[in-house]
Structures are given as C-alpha cells and as structure tokens.
Amino acid sequence: MAAEKIYVFKRFERFWHWSQALLIICMLITGFEVHGSYSLFGFEHAVSYHTVLAWSLVTLWVFAIFWHLTTGEWKQYIPTTDKVVAMMRFYSVGIFKGEPHPYRPTKLKKHNPLQRIAYLGVLLFIGPLLWLTGWFYLFYGDWAVWGVNGFLSLEWVAFFHTVGAFMMLTFLIAHLYLTTTGHTPTAHIKAMVTGWEEVD
C-alpha cells in the first residue's frame, strides 16, 4: 500500500511538545531529588532548579493554551468513542500480529481516540493536580495569610504532589513506548520533528 505524507504538526506545536518534554523530564529529575530519592545537584540546588523549571513550564502552558484557543487546535482533544475498541484491540493484540492500524490521522483529526483520552487526562487531571499541589508547596509560608493552614497539611500536599509526579512519569513511559508503534519504530518521532506524518 502506498504511503502519503501529510503535514500534521505545526511549528509551534513541535516546539511546545519538545520544550514541554524537556521541562517535564528535568522536573522529574529535580523533583525526585527534592523528595529524597537520590542526590544529584544537592537539595537546595534541586529545589531552586525545580522552581525555575516549574515557572518555565507554566509560561509555556500559557502560550500553548492561547495558541490552541486562537487556532482552534483545542478541538483535537475532544474525546470520542469512535474506534476506541478497535484502538484498544490494536494496541493489545493487533500490533503483535502485524495488523493494519485502525486509525488514519488527518490535519483535522491528528490524535486517535485513545490519545485524545490520555492527553485530556493529563490536561484535566494530572496537570492540575501537580500545579495545585506545587503551588501550595511553593507558597507554604503564606498559608496562614490565605487562611488555609487549618484545612491543609504539608504532608498531604507533598503526598499528592508525589502521586501526580508518578502519574506523569507513567504517562511519559507509556508515551515513549507508543511512539515506537508507527509503521517504523521512529516514524512518529520523525513526524514530531519534521511535522510530516506518513500515512497509508
């Protein structure tokens, strides 16, 4: 079957993707050091780097939200049940039998149904959990001024921030694996570098 190239990922989208990936990986490295999992930079430096990385990611997300809203790309993340079962079957069985991919990306629908659900979960659950707990963690000294010190516990804030970090790490590992499931192991990565996706 002949392959066709379509321009799927725009320049800003690719910049946002790789910048976000780098920031998240660095935040995981510094965050787990702050958590006490190992020593790499030293606690104080790790806290400082983690804070700078967090504000950098917030800034990137603000620009990304603006870009998605103004370009209409936010529609790419609206969940759908169409072909969900087919995608689940493909990833669990079909891919190992060499069956054809049940979803063909287009400029208007670049993410398959499972990708939409996963990305929406990151945007609506994992991200907010990390940002909210991180915000309270960062401004712990202001809790009394805000009047929330009677409702919040630093231990619980730290616990849920760590839960969010493990969820993000799990998403990252799954995401890395799924990038290898194209018609070649590097096809999806190449598409996110060049913007052009090869489809049948």
Domain spans of the chain, in order of start: 4-199
Instruction: Please give the CATH superfamily to which domain 4-199 belongs.
Output: Transmembrane di-heme cytochromes, Chain C (1.20.950.20)
pLDDT (tens place) for every residue of the chain, 200 residues total = 556 888 999 999 999 999 999 999 999 999 999 999 999 999 999 999 999 999 999 999 999 999 999 999 999 989 888 888 998 898 888 888 888 888 888 888 888 898 999 998 998 999 999 999 999 999 998 988 888 888 889 999 999 999 999 999 999 999 999 888 877 888 889 999 999 988 76
Q: 112-139: b or e for each residue (b if 16 or more CB lie within 10 Å)?
A: bbbbbbbbeebeeebeebbbebbebbee
Task: Find all residues with CB under 8 Å of 59, minimum gap 6, and list them.
Answer: none
Beta bridge partners of 7: 196
pTM of the model: 0.89
